[in-house]
Amino acid sequence: MLTAHLPSGYILAQVPRRTFPGLLPVALIGAVFPDLDMIWFYFVDDRAFHHHRYWVHVPAFWAGVALVTLPLIGFFARRWLNAALVFFAAIFMHLVLDSIGGGIMWLAPLDDRLMSLTVVPATQDHWVLSFLLHWTFLLELAIWGLALTLWLRRGRVENRASGGGIWEKMKKGRI
């Protein structure tokens, strides 16, 4: 995925929003967190190998971190448990989305092959164009569309609860 990680985090945060408000920042950070390896990829490693081979893109690493930290958070800082669960859910959602066309080492450390639903062939001069013109980009657009729909719907619900936004008040002559 090229652009859909952030809106996927927004979508994830909408699921527990009514029960556990305030989880949006955690979901957004977790949804893009594995791609922080791009800093190392471009500025230190000089693109030596695919950034999905770094530890932040290895599901076994995150499963291990979650298995250690979630019980500790549950025992010592229970009020942060929901945020930690959403953070790890967002990270795993990132890995699933990267598995569509980018490949993730799902069987690491037993197997270091990148596994993906499909391979995006290099059909264009630049790799970004190859991704933009591949059918998998339609999934990214669908994720953006769903996130935008949820955002617009959320605004309407909040406006209705507060008596309408500024545009509704202007239409009714209250401003």
Please say whether the beta carbons of 68 and 54 come within 8 A: no
Q: ω into residue 109 within 30 of 0, thus cis?
A: yes
The residues that bridge with 131 in the sheet, in sequence order, are none
Q: Which two tokens stand for residue 113?
A: 């092959």
- Opening angle at CA 95, ends 32 and 137, nearest 5: 80
Q: Where are the domains of the chain?
A: 5-171
The residues that bridge with 9 in the sheet, in sequence order, are none
Sign of CA dihedral 92, 93, 98, 101: positive
Residue with tokens 């669960």: 85
Kindly list the distances between the CA atom of residue 139 and the CA atoms of 46, 59, 67, 100, 162, in Å, as whole numbers in the listed order: 30, 22, 31, 9, 35
pLDDT of res. 121: 85
Q: Which two tokens stand for residue 33?
A: 């967190």
pLDDT of res. 162: 58
Q: Which two tokens stand for residue 163?
A: 């008596």
The residues that bridge with 104 in the sheet, in sequence order, are 115
- Tell me the Ramachandran region of residue 47: left when phi exceeds 0, alpha when psi lies from -120 to 50, beta otherwise: left
DSSP annotation of 172? T
pLDDT one digit per residue (tens) for the chain, 175 residues:
889 999 999 999 998 777 777 899 999 999 999 999 999 999 999 889 889 999 999 999 999 999 999 999 999 999 999 999 999 999 999 999 999 998 999 999 999 999 999 998 889 999 888 889 889 999 999 999 999 999 998 876 665 555 555 556 556 655 4
What is the pTM for the complete model shown?
Answer: 0.85
